[in-house]
Amino acid sequence: MGLGTVVVTGAAGNIGSVVRGALRGEVERLVLLDRVPLRAEAANEEVHTVDLRDADAVETALTGADAVLHLGGLPDEAPLAHLLDVNVLGTHHVLEAARRAAVPRVVLAGSNRVTGFYPTAHRTGPGEPVRPDGLYGVSKAAVEALGRLYADKFGVSVICLRIGSFEEAPTEPRHLATWLSPRDAVGFCRAALAAPLSTRFATVYAVSANTRRFWELPAESELAYTPLDDAEAHAPHLADTDSGSSPEAPQGGPYALPEFTLKHLRP
Q: Which among 136, 205, 225, 255 is annotated as catalytic?
A: 136
Structural contact between residues 138 and 80, judged by C-beta atoms closer than 8 angstroms: yes
Q: Quick one: which H or E segment has residue 152?
A: helix 135-154
Compute φ and ψ for 259, nearest 5 degrees: -60, -30
Across the chain, where does the E strand assignment appear?
5-9, 29-34, 45-49, 67-70, 105-111, 157-163, 165-166, 179-180, 201-206
Three-state DSSP state, 159: strand
How far is it, in rounded angstroms, from Cα 265 to Cα 220? 42
How far is it, in rounded angstroms, from Cα 42 to Cα 48? 14
Burial class (CB in 10 A: 0-12, 13-18, 19+), 236: exposed
How far is it, in rounded angstroms, from Cα 14 to Cα 12? 7
CA-only gyration radius of the chain, Å: 18
Burial class (CB in 10 A: 0-12, 13-18, 19+), 1: exposed
Neighbours of 261 (CB within 10 A): 20
Structural contact between residues 140 and 192, judged by C-beta atoms closer than 8 angstroms: no
Q: Is 136 a catalytic residue?
A: yes
How far is it, in rounded angstroms, from Cα 107 to Cα 94? 10
Catalytic residue set: 136
